[in-house]
Amino acid sequence: MLAGFVAPIDRIADLGSLTGARHAASVRAPRRPVFPNGAPNAWAVVDADTGRVIASTGARQPLPPASLSKVLTALVAVDAMRPDTPVPVSHRAAGAPASRIGMKAGQTWSTEDALRAMLLVSANDAALALAEKAGGPRGLAGFQERLAILAKRLGLADKPVLRDPAGLDDQNAVAGGNKVSARDLAIVARAALAQPRITAIVGVQQYKLRLPDGTSRQLINHNKLLRTYPGLLGLKTGFTKKAGGCLLTVARRNGRTMIAVVLATSDIYGNSRALLDFGFATRTRDEPRADALPKVPVSTPPAAARKSSTSTTKGAGRGPGAGGRKAPPTRGAGTSGSRAPRPPAPPPVTMPPVRGNRRV
């Protein structure tokens, strides 16, 4: 695996007469990342703290994102369900094409275990089961409604097509599959950073999962950069023949957090390294101001948890104390355009309640 690197100094004036001080002053910051094995079709590197897009190419064009779609599915799931919410496995979910965790029709999984299977080993059966549960009585149709609400709430601006919870884009895809731009995926990554339930999963290299039948399985995170790139916080790999190689990564170094998105590339790791390195090499004061991502909306707990919290608060008669206080913003998600504390966000869009119980 080739490490990413940044562009060399592009110009030094008057080489023969420069003193050491003048030489240092003439060194310019790198202007563009250099990809070791050719550039992806679309890519972006974003400062997650300021929200500024540091550099990009083709980042506003919606493309098939393969399993990067599963980060969106995870956001819908954590918004709709508590960690212990039971997730029933339908025949459709159990019959999902590979990659699979091996769910069986009639089983019941916890939401958190299904999330682990989906985010660590890209299990398509887990993605479908989570989507069907999150969609309530309307199943996948209800899930797609939630996706549309989430896209609007996050500020996805490049006309995303959001239909398939697993990111399939062949004959097995739901309604033809998804298309999302690299910039919109960076917005999704920032929202995921603000969800501790997601960051707790994507940042681990392996996890021993206990299955409903009593057996155990060791899950190895597909994201190889977790083992080779210092400061990597994780996120998601993806691949289909149509989408090519895709990778969404987040890393933290010296108090700064960078997001890298690569779509349609044969070198997801080398190109992502190059983008992250370039982002960290760009000083905050040198970041372009032309484009900044929207602010991350304040998240709300699942409807069932909100109801329980409200009942507890009323019973205690304490008003908005420990039981009703909003959680502080997660560090690392940041706000656009400034490192100052995040101002109050507008009221979040209320999600519909949940009733009742290929390799990508």
| DSSP-assigned beta bridge partners for residue 232 | 251
Q: What is 42-299's CATH superfamily? A: DD-peptidase/beta-lactamase superfamily (3.40.710.10)
Check residue 17 and give left, alpha or beta (phi > 0: left; psi -120 to 50: alpha).
Answer: alpha
∠ Cα 227 229 232 (to 5°): 90
Q: Is the pTM of this model over 0.75?
A: yes
Amino acid at 25: A
| Residue 289 CB burial class (10 angstroms; 0-12, 13-18, ≥19) | exposed
Q: Which residues contact 46 (CB under 8 A, 6 or more apart)?
A: 52, 53, 54, 186, 189, 190, 258, 259, 260, 261, 279, 293
Sorted by where each begins, the domain ranges of the chain are: 42-299
- Encode the chain (360 residues) as per-residue pLDDT tens digits: 444 434 443 333 333 333 343 433 334 555 889 999 999 999 999 999 999 999 999 999 999 999 999 999 999 999 999 999 999 999 999 999 999 999 999 999 999 999 999 999 999 999 999 999 999 999 999 999 999 999 999 999 999 999 999 999 999 999 999 999 999 999 999 999 999 999 999 999 999 999 999 999 999 999 999 999 999 999 999 999 999 999 999 999 999 999 999 999 999 999 999 999 999 999 999 999 999 999 999 865 565 444 444 443 344 433 333 333 444 444 434 444 434 344 344 344 333 444 443 445
> 126: helix, coil or strand?
helix
Q: Residue 61 in contact with residue 285, Cβ under 8 Å?
A: no
